[in-house]
């Protein structure tokens, strides 16, 4: 066994919510990253009562996530990166988390901001996202991957603005807070085509458009942002990783399952990594 080669496997640290069903959250992140050949590590920032039908309760974790993160610090070397998503910490706890991340200085960073699970109880509003952005993005280096609803909320726009607001308006608050790029996901826009946008100081880059697929799937945002991190750790550049993640999601759309025949379908695990092209 080539121990040197095994020790070079990239590490992906996922900070987010625990969905016990595995359709979304940390379990979905870990499944996605392991399929890509990365070693996932996870720290829970939110505990949920959740299944394929809905999320009915969200609470802060019982154990201090900063202590858990500090315990993992010896592993965080070489090729590694972090993904941040659902967070139920209070303002003080989140600032402590940000201070620890600033000290650890992950080489790759993506934030998938979440207002609420796609079905069930909510957690944050636009004001919460603005406060989190001010604490997190000021350290620099973060890509943010909101959907249009989350982007409208942080901009203080009404829900209807997810269809009418320009890409520049929806991306502006994240960039002003310090994000290096905003990967604005297009699934919540209207029309028969879905098109993401990549927005940075260099301007707006519209990614490839694709026909809207029928039905709903759980964990699309988790799969996209986790696979982006994994692909970046494997050497892809920012845009290629975003494009490839979206293609990978579409390619496996029809192979989703609803465990027990209940709820919205979730993505099946163990899709061969060679399908990522």
Which is more confidently placed, 243 or 4?
Answer: 243
Q: Is residue 243 part of a domain?
A: yes
Helix ranges, the chain (H): 3-7, 25-35, 65-72, 91-104, 126-136, 148-154, 161-164, 167-177, 220-233, 238-251
Residues 6 or more apart whose CB falls under 8 angstroms from that of 84 comprise 15, 16, 45, 109, 110, 111, 112, 136
The reply to whether 145 falls in a domain is: yes
**144: CATH:** 3.40.1190.20
Least confident range from 137-146, 148-157, 263-272: namely 263-272
Query: Residue 270: its pLDDT value, please?
Result: 60
The total number of structural domains in the chain stands at 1
DSSP symbol at 273? G
Residue 4 lies in a domain: no
pLDDT one-digit tens code per residue, 173-229: 999 999 999 999 987 777 788 899 999 999 999 999 999 999 899 999 999 999 999
Full residue range of the structural domain in which residue 16 is found? 10-267
Confirm whether 5 is domain-assigned. no
Length of the chain: 277
What angle, 0 to 180 degrees and rounded to 10, lies between the N-to-C axes of helices 91-104 and 126-136?
A: 30
Query: For the sheet containing 108-111, what is the strand order?
Result: 55-59, 39-50, 11-18, 80-84, 108-111, 143-144, 181-184, 197-200, 203-206
Element (H, E) at 198: strand 197-200
pTM given for the model: 0.93
- pLDDT tens-digit series, residues 140-152: 999 999 999 999 9
Average pLDDT over residues 100-108: 97
Burial of 200 (0-12, 13-18, 19+ CB in 10 A): middle
Only one residue has tokens 């996901």, namely 185
pLDDT value of position 186: 85
Mean pLDDT score, 257-262: 92
Structure tokens at 264: 């919205």
pLDDT at 172 over 50: yes
115 band by pLDDT with thresholds 50, 70 and 90: confident
**Is residue 277 a part of any domain in this protein?**
no
Query: pLDDT band at 3, cuts 50/70/90?
Result: very low
Tokens 């890409």 belong to residue: 167
pLDDT at residue 80 tops 60: yes
Q: Let me know if residue 59 belongs to a domain.
A: yes
Q: Provide mean pLDDT across the span 249-273.
A: 85
Cα–Cα distance for residue pair 177/193, rounded to 1 Å: 30
pLDDT at res. 192: 86
Minimal CA–CA distance to 109: which of 39, 180, 28, 36?
180
192 versus 6: the higher-pLDDT residue is 192
* Averaged confidence pLDDT in the chain: 91
Residue with token string 């095994």: 6
Q: Say how many C-beta atoms besides its own lie within 10 A of residue 76's C-beta.
A: 17
d(CA 227, CA 32): 6
Cβ 97 vs Cβ 66: under 8 Å: yes
Query: How confident is the model over 241-251, as a mean pLDDT?
Result: 95
Burial 38-54 (b: 16+ CB within 10 A, else e): bbbbbbbbbbbebbbee
Output 268 or 117, whichever has higher pLDDT: 268
**Tens of pLDDT, residues 30-73:** 999 999 999 999 999 999 999 989 889 999 999 999 999 999 99
Average pLDDT over residues 246-273: 86
* Residue 272 included in any domain: no
Task: Scan for tokens 């202590």, then name that residue.
Answer: 67
φ, ψ dihedrals at 56, nearest 5°: -110, -10
What is residue 129's three-state secondary structure? helix
């Amino acid at each position: 066994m080539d121990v040197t080669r095994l020790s070079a496997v990239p590490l992906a640290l996922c900070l987010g919510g625990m969905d016990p069903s595995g359709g979304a959250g940390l379990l979905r992140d870990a499944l996605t990253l392991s399929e890509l050949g990365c070693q996932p590590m996870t720290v829970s920032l939110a505990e949920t009562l959740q299944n394929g039908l809905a999320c009915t309760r969200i609470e802060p974790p019982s154990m201090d996530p900063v202590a858990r993160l500090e315990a993992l610090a010896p592993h965080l070397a070489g090729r590694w990166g972090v993904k941040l998503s659902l967070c139920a910490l209070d303002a003080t706890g989140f600032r402590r988390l940000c201070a620890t991340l600033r000290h650890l200085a992950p080489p790759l960073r993506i934030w998938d901001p979440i207002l609420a699970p796609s079905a069930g109880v909510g957690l944050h509003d636009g004001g919460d996202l603005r406060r989190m952005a001010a604490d997190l993005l000021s350290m620099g280096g973060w890509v943010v991957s909101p959907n249009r609803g989350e982007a409208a909320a942080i901009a203080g726009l009404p829900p209807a603005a997810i269809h009418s607001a320009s890409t520049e308006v929806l991306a502006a608050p994240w960039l002003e807070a310090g994000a290096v790029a905003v990967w604005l996901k297009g699934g919540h826009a209207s029309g028969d085509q879905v098109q993401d946008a990549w927005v940075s100081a260099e301007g707006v880059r519209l990614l490839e458009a694709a026909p809207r697929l029928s039905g709903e799937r759980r964990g699309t945002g988790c799969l996209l942002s986790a696979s982006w991190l994994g692909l970046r750790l494997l050497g892809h550049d920012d845009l290629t990783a975003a494009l490839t993640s979206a293609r990978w999601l579409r390619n496996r759309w029809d192979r989703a399952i609803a465990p027990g025949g209940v709820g919205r379908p979730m993505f099946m695990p163990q899709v061969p990594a060679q399908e990522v092209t």
